[in-house]
Structure 1
Amino acid sequence: MTKAAPVPLKLAMGEQRLRELAKLLRSVAPDFDAKTFLAVALDGLEDLTLMARVRQASAAIHAACPSGFDGALAMLSEAAPRLGGGFMSLVPPDYVGQYGRHAFDVSMAALRYFTQFGSSEFGVREFLRDDLPRALATMEAWSTDPSDAVRRLASEGSRPRLPWSFRLGAIEADPALTAKILGNLRADGSLYVRKSVANHLNDIAKTHPQWVLDLVGKWPAGNAHTAWIVKQALRTLVKQADPRALAAIGAGAAPRVAVGGFAVTPASIALGDSVTLSFELVSTSPDPQRLVVDYRIAYVKKSGATSAKVFKLKALSLAGGQRVSVRRSQHIRDFTTRTHYPGRHEVELVVNGQRMASAFFDLRR
C-alpha cells in the first residue's frame, strides 16, 4: 500500500481558513473590510511558507481595519477565543508584534491574553528585540503567573534559538539574562512549562554548556519536576558524552557491562529501507548502575568523508548481573536536513559516553 504524502503545514493557513477568519472578524467588527483583507491575505498565498502566511494575514488585518491598531486589537481580542487554536491562533500575537510596538504596556498585556488561546512566543520576541530589559522584566513577572500558558510564554518567548524565529543574540551571548525566569520555573508543576524550560536550557547548552551545568547543579536535586527538566535540558550534552552532563543524570560512572551480538541488519540496503540494531547488555557488576545507551551513525557525505550523528536509544537502570536485550529499527530516508549518499555507514554503540561496539551497513546506489 502506498503511503499518502504528508499534508504541508502551511495548508493550516489555506484559503478556506483565511476566508473563515475574514467572516469571523467581520462578525466581530462591522467596519472590518473583509474584501480588502482577502485581497491582501490571499495574494501569492501558494508560494508562502506557514509563517509567511501568518505575517501576511497580520498585514491584511492592518490594511482592512479602518480604526487602526486600537480597533484591530479590540476586534482580535474578541475573536481570539473563537479561533479554535492551531496555527490561526498565531495571527493575533503576530499582529501585535508587528503593529503594537509603539504601545508597550497595552501590547504586552495583549500578548499575555492571546497566549492562552495559542501561543504568543513569536510576537513577544519583537518586544525583546526592541527593549530587552523592559520586556524581560515583564516576562519575569509572567514566570510566576497562575496560568501555565503565561508561565510557558516567559520561557518559550525568551529562548535564544526558538525554531521558526530569529535568534535573540543578546541572550545567546549572555544566558544570565533569563536565569531568573528559568529559576522561577525550575520545578513547575505543568509539563507544558517544563518542556519549554528544558528546551530553553538546551538552546543555551549549545553555546554555554558549562554555564548550564553550573546553573542546574545549584538546583535542588530531590524534586522530581526539576530532575525531569535537567534530564531533558542536558540531552545534547549527554549525546556529546559530556562527563558533567552524564554525572548530572546519574550516568557518570564507566559502564560495567559486556555487549553481546551487536549487529546491524541487513548489511546492505537501498535508500528508503530500514536497518535494525540488535544486541544484549550484560551487567558485569554486582551493584546496580545507571546507563545511558545511544548509537552513533557515521553518515557518508557527498565528498566521501563521514559526519556522525548520535541517536538516543534508551536510559535504564541495570541490576547486578542483569542482562537485557535491545532492538531498534531506523528508516534510512532523505530529509530536508539530511541527504544520504551511497557507501559504508559505521554504527557505534555508546554507553555512558563510551564506545562499546560497532558494526556497519552499506547504502547502495
Structure 2
Amino acid sequence: MSEYVPLKSYFDGRLAVQLADLIHSHYPRFTKKSFVKSVASEVENKELKARVEVIADTLKQHLPTDYEEALAILLKILGPENKTEEGMFTKGYFLMPVAYFVERYGLDHFDLSLNAMYEITKRHTSEYAIRPYLIADTDCCMAYFRDWINDPNSHVRRLVSEGTRPRLPWAKKIPPLKDNVQNNLRLLENLMHDSSRYVQKSVANHINDLTKENPEVVLTWIHQYISENDDMNPKIIINGLRTLVKLKDEHALEIVRQVE
C-alpha cells in the first residue's frame, strides 16, 4: 500500500520547475530560475490554498503585465483534455494555480476569463475560480451556464452545478443565485437526467446544499418534478435528500419511499 501524500506537498519547488519549463517553451522571456527560487522559498510551511496563491502570484510577477497576453500563454500549457471523469486533482492538480490566476486577476476581463475557465475545467476544475464571477455578475454567468448545461463535455456540465453550490467544500459559502433557491433549481432541472455519474453526484450534492438553505422549497420542487417526470433518476433524489432523511423529515422520507 502506497504512503499517503498530502495534496499540498505537490505545490512546491518541483511543481514550479514543471510550470516554468512548460511556460518557457511558449514564452522564452520567462525567467525560470527566479520563478522557481521565489516559489520554493515562499511555499515552505504553508498549507494548500496558501501555496496555490503563492504560485499564482509569482506567475503574475513573471508573466507579461497585460492580463490578456499572460492568460494566452497560460492557456497554451493546459495540455490535453481529460477524457475520463477521474484525475481532476491527481493528474490535473498542476493547473490549480492557473485557475487561481484567473480567479484572482481576471475579473476585469469577464468574457475572456469565463472562456478560459471553460478550457481549464476540461482538464482540472474551475468550480472555485468561477465563484467571484458569480458574485460580481450573476446574470452574465447564467448566460454562459445556459450554453454549458448542454455541452458535450461532462466536466463543463458539472461546472454549472458544482460552481454554483452554496456550500461547496474548500470554498467560501455563497448564497443561492440572486438570493433565490429557485434560480439554482432551474439550472439543476436541466441536469437531472444527465447520463454522467460525475454530474449526477454534483447535482445531488447541490440539492443537499439547498435543503440546508430552504428545505420546504426544495421538497416542493422535487415533489413536482417527480409528478411530471416518469424517467427520473432516483439516486440523485435520494442522495440529494440525505441530510433531511437523517433529520427524519417526514416530507423527505415520503419522497424517498416514493422513488425507491
TM-fit CA distance, 1:102: 0.7
**Aligned equivalent of 1:13:** 11
Partner of 2:68: 70
Partner deviation per Cα, 1:195-214 (whole Å, 9 max, x = no partner): 11111111111121111111
Going by fraction, where is helix more abundant, 1 or 2? 2
For residues 53 and 129 of structure 1, what CA distance do their matches in structure 2 show?
Answer: 24
Higher strand proportion (structure 1 or 2)? 1
Whole-angstrom CA distance in 2 between matches of 1:174 and 1:37: 44
Structure 2 equivalent of residue 241 of structure 1: 248
- Distance in 2 separating the partners of 1:211 and 1:122: 26
Checking the alignment, whether the CA contact within 8 Å between 1:32 and 1:66 is kept in structure 2 is no
Q: Which residue of the other structure, out of 33, 42, 66, is the alignment partner of 2:40?
A: 42
Matches of 2:2 and 2:153, distance apart in 1: 39
**Alignment of structure 1 residues 19-98 onto 2, 5 Å:** 19-66=17-64, 68-81=66-79, 85-98=91-104
How does the TM-score come out when normalised to structure 2? 0.88
Pairing 1:201-280 to 2, within 5 Å after superposition: 201-220=207-226, 221-224=229-232, 226-250=233-257
Once the two structures are TM-superposed, the CA of residue 5 in structure 1 deviates from its matched residue by: 6.8
Aligned residues: 250
Offset at residue 128 of structure 1 (A): 0.7
1:83-133 alpha-carbon deviations (Å, 9 max, x no partner): 983322222221111111111111111111110001111111121121122
Task: State whether residues 195 and 229 of structure 1, in contact with CA within 8 Å, keep that contact through their aligned partners in structure 2.
Answer: yes
Compared CA separation, residues 124 and 209, structure 1 to 2 (3 A) = same
TM-score by length of structure 1 reads 0.64
Match of 2:163 among 145, 157, 164: 157
User: 1:116 is paired with a residue of what secondary structure?
Assistant: coil
Structure 2 CA distance for aligned equivalents of residues 201 and 57 of structure 1: 34
Q: Report the equivalent of 1:188.
A: 194
| 1:104 aligns with one of 96, 110, 118 | 110
Give 2:97's aligned amino acid. V
1:236 counterpart letter in structure 2: T
Change (3 A) 1:46 1:4: farther
Unaligned runs of 5+ in 1: 253-289, 291-365
Query: Matched residues, percent identical?
Result: 33
Q: Is the 8 A contact 1:62 1:68 kept in 2?
A: no
Q: Give the Å deviation of 1:183.
A: 1.0
3-state SS, counterpart of residue 203 of structure 1: helix
Q: What is the CA-CA distance between 1:245 and the residue it aligns to? A: 1.1
Q: Deviations over 1:129-173 (max 9, x none)?
A: 211222222223211212111110011111111111111135394
Q: Which runs of 5+ in 2 are unaligned?
A: 82-89
Instruction: Report the CA distance between 1:246 and its aligned residue.
Output: 1.2
Aligned equivalents of 1:51, 1:229: Cα separation in 2: 31
Q: 1:62: how far off?
A: 0.7
